[in-house]
Amino acid sequence: MDETRGIEIVDVSYAYGAKPALAGVSMALRPGRFTALLGPNGAGKSTLVSLLSALFVPQDGRISIFGLDLAKDPLSALSGMGIVFQQQTLDLDLSVRQNMAYFAALHGLGGRRAGRRIEACLARLGLAARQKEKVRALNGGHRRRLEIARCLLHEPRFLLLDEPTVGLDVPARADLVAHVHALCRDEGLTVLWATHLVDEVEADDDLIVLHEGTVRAQGAVPDVLAASGAHDVLAAFHNLTTPAPVEAVS
């Protein structure tokens, strides 16, 4: 695994029957950077997440994660990845710590090492004081924090998050966005954050705009704004995803 290589997606296509979801998508995620994958509902974001997590296999193109070909060596490529899917996957009837311990066991972590990682990850996400509580008692924001804490147990270098703030109120969304940006900044993680919400993109992020299965723009936020002739992310998103008006024929 070569972390200097980042994440490379080259000419990737995927269709559901005759309906294309991604068409020749290419993008590069710089290592140690927070990249926002921004697109409206139906743009192909969740399909791309499914391909990156090896739930789906590209029908064309290739994906490499830190230099490892996902198709040829999926176990090695995925070993350095932590994933938070759009649908929550916690066991509501287990405690916070029991959810963490179960996931640690799935990754072959046990004994004192697992205990140390659980304590460290819960503390990092502000959940240490709640580890004996049933997950059912947590609000939506804390459940999402727990999912992120859980995906950090095996010390991944790449975090993949698919619409992680769906269903959260504005303060909880802002809190979660700030936590993941801090993880990226403090621990040098490579992050791909898929969202349809422009206010989750920060000025110093990298940005990829996906629309109708194609990449409309990518680069550092200031570069995307300049290329799209916009003064902020909302205007750039509108410019890149709104069809040009059709002129009336006289």
Query: CATH number of the domain that 204 lies in?
Result: 3.40.50.300
Whether 114 maps to a domain, the answer reads no
Tokens of 86: 């759009």
Domain interval for residue 74: 3-80+156-241
What are the percentages of helix, strand and coil residues in the chain, rounded to 5?
A: 40, 25, 35
Residue 246 pLDDT? 47
Q: What is the pTM of this model?
A: 0.91
SS3 130: helix
Whether 130 maps to a domain, the answer reads no
**What whole-number distance in Å separates Cα of residue 166 and Cα of residue 199?**
13
Residue 116 pLDDT? 94
Residue 24 pLDDT? 96
- Mean pLDDT, contiguous 10-residue spans, the chain (250 residues): 84 95 96 96 94 95 95 92 91 96 90 93 93 95 93 93 91 92 93 96 97 96 95 95 61
Instruction: Report whether 216 contacts 44 (CB < 8 A).
Output: no
Whether 90 maps to a domain, the answer reads no
Whether 123 maps to a domain, the answer reads no
Whether 228 maps to a domain, the answer reads yes
